[in-house]
């Protein structure tokens, strides 16, 4: 079977997932989606992994979205099933227990951008273009784009991008908050690894609870969100890592967190 998704690890605690179909702009065929879901499950179950990077092989495209060549021979029902599968995969990325960084080294269009939107943090190479281009094909974003994009950049920018179907540059994406940082393409992966290292150096349970509190709290009102935060905080109190953090602080050394 062709390896459409590659998994590697950096310093034991960082997983790097690479979309490996550059000849097809890393488009999401059913085979790629199947392999990606298997890798996502493996990463999520590996308690040694505290941060994950999703990136792409090649420099032309991060991910061009759905595989339209595959789709043109599908029935209407098969198209709907495939879009649902893409949405399920995107949701699986969002629900990974650890923070996920999208290192976008090339164009991210349609479902490719929707995949990146499900990540916690997005960084991009300077010549990257990003867009939800579905309306130019007489369809709408179907893997979370109409919901995640306005939550990230606001209603006006989201409507402009979705209605016009026009991609924007990495510089504009940075300006409106669609990506958090941009770098030269040759530095992108190293910068993603450095960011992942800074995350993985912190208490794993605390990071997981922070992600849960942020993501869950953003879907509710402030009062409910504060209650969610309090419950997340309580879960860190009985951990060995919390005590290790206190000891390391008093002893002026780096903490050695075990995720316990």
How many structural domains is the chain composed of?
Answer: 2
Residues 6+ apart with CB under 8 A from 109: 61, 63, 64, 65, 129, 130, 131, 132, 133, 167
Give mean pLDDT in consecutive 10-residue pieces for the chain, a chain of 260 residues: 90 93 94 96 96 95 90 88 94 97 97 97 97 95 96 97 97 98 96 96 95 95 96 95 89 89
What integer pLDDT is reported at residue 51 of this predicted model?
Answer: 97
Produce one character per residue of 106-138: b if its CB has 16 or more CB atoms within 10 Å, e if not. bbbbbbbbbbbbbbbbbbbbeebbbbbbbeeee
Which of 134, 144, 232, 245 does the annotation list as catalytic?
Answer: 134
Cα–Cα distance between 180 and 122 in angstroms, integer? 6
Residue 114 among the catalytic residues: yes
Residue 256 within any structural domain of the chain? no
Residue 152 within any structural domain of the chain? yes
134 and 146 belong to one structural domain: yes
Residue 111 among the catalytic residues: yes
The model carries a pTM of 0.93
164 and 77 belong to one structural domain: yes
Residues 6+ apart with CB under 8 A from 240: 258, 260
Which of 61, 66, 108, 213 does the annotation list as catalytic?
Answer: 66
Residue 214 within any structural domain of the chain? yes
230 and 196 belong to one structural domain: no
Assign residue 207 the CATH number of its domain. 1.10.12.10
52 and 104 belong to one structural domain: yes
| Structural domain containing residue 85 | 5-200
Which of 87, 110, 111, 112 does the annotation list as catalytic?
Answer: 111
115 and 19 belong to one structural domain: yes
């Amino acid at each position: 079977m062709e390896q459409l998704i590659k998994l590697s690890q950096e310093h034991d605690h960082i997983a790097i997932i690479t979309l490996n179909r550059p000849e097809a702009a890393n488009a999401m065929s059913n085979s790629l989606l199947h392999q990606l879901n298997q890798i996502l499950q493996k990463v999520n179950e590996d308690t040694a992994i505290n941060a994950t990077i999703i990136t792409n092989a090649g420099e032309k495209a991060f991910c061009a979205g759905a595989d339209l060549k595959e789709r043109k021979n599908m029935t209407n029902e098969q198209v709907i099933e495939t879009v649902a599968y893409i949405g399920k995969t995107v949701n699986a990325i969002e629900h990974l227990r650890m923070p996920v960084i999208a290192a976008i080294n090339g164009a991210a269009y349609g479902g490719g951008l929707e995949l990146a939107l499900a990540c916690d943090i997005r960084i991009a190479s300077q010549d990257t273009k990003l867009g939800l281009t579905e309306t130019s094909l007489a369809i709408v974003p179907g893997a979370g784009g109409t919901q995640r994009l306005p939550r990230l950049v606001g209603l006006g920018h989201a409507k402009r991008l979705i209605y016009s179907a026009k991609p924007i540059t990495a510089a504009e994406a940075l300006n409106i908050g669609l990506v958090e940082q941009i770098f030269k393409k040759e530095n992108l992966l190293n910068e993603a690894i450095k960011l992942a290292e800074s995350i993985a150096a912190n208490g794993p349970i605390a990071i997981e609870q922070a992600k849960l509190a942020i993501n869950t709290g953003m879907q509710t009102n402030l009062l409910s969100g504060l209650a969610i935060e309090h419950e997340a905080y309580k879960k860190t109190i009985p951990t060995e890592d919390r005590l290790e953090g206190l000891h390391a602080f008093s002893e002026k050394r780096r903490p050695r967190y075990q995720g316990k």
